[in-house]
Amino acid sequence: MSLFVSFFVAVLALLASLFIYRQQRNDIYLRLFPPFLLVVAVCYWFISYLAQRRLNNLAIFNPLTIFQISFFFFVLYRLIQHKVVKKIAFYLIWIYPIVAGLNILYFQKIETFHSITYSLGGLLIAALCIFYFFELFQRSQSINLMRSPDFWICSGLLFYFACSFPIYGMANTLEKFPQFILTNLNKIFNVLDILLYTSFTIAFLCRLKIRKSL
């Protein structure tokens, strides 16, 4: 995956997220997005720096992906209204990093990508996003989806993890694949990153009021 693309789109989303503080009545998960994206952008820069020097960057990439997935569980916990599913999402915020950490320490080790727990986390996020959309379309009141940050964020998460978790699940065996397959997978990862952070950017900006001048 081109880490420069990941870093670039994360920085753009970070800049867009600063507009959150100009808007009123935003949920806490939206106000936490700017510091979250700042951590992500900084980590992407270090990961890219190590990759350019052909050094193992999994000591940063593994904890980063655990941090990202745990944060997305928190986002979905804030969005879902069903009490039982909401409680499941809350428990996942704390249980997932413990399980992923144990996997890295005792099973897949820090030198390799934690493909098992990443795929599990991605699958759970996709399932929670699907439940969010089920709840969304069951609501009695109408919602302007184009101006709903929740809709854009969950759309990006669902598409990203539904497409990426099966590929990341076999990440540790990709070296055995022919070069042309690796090149195409690299392009797929770039597109997924662009779509994810673009959906975040739209979510941060969709409530801004644009003044029309004559």
**Domain residue ranges of the chain, discontinuous segments joined by +:** 3-205
> What pLDDT score was predicted for residue 178?
61
Query: Residue 112's pLDDT band (boundaries 50, 70, 90)?
Result: confident
Pick 3-205's CATH classification: 3.40.50, 1.10.12, 1.10.390, 1.20.1070: 1.20.1070
* CA-based nearest residue to 196, from 9, 60, 2, 8: 9
Q: Rounded to 5 degrees, what are φ and ψ at 159? A: -65, -45
> What pLDDT score was predicted for residue 73?
98
Per-residue pLDDT reduced to its tens digit, 131-176: 999 999 888 787 888 889 999 999 999 999 998 877 777 766 656 6
> What pLDDT score was predicted for residue 214?
39
* CA-based nearest residue to 156, from 72, 79, 100, 78: 72
On the question of pLDDT at 184 being above 80, the answer is no
* CA-based nearest residue to 67, from 20, 105, 118, 9: 118
> What pLDDT score was predicted for residue 171?
63
Position with higher pLDDT, 16 vs 55: 16
pLDDT mean over 44-55: 86
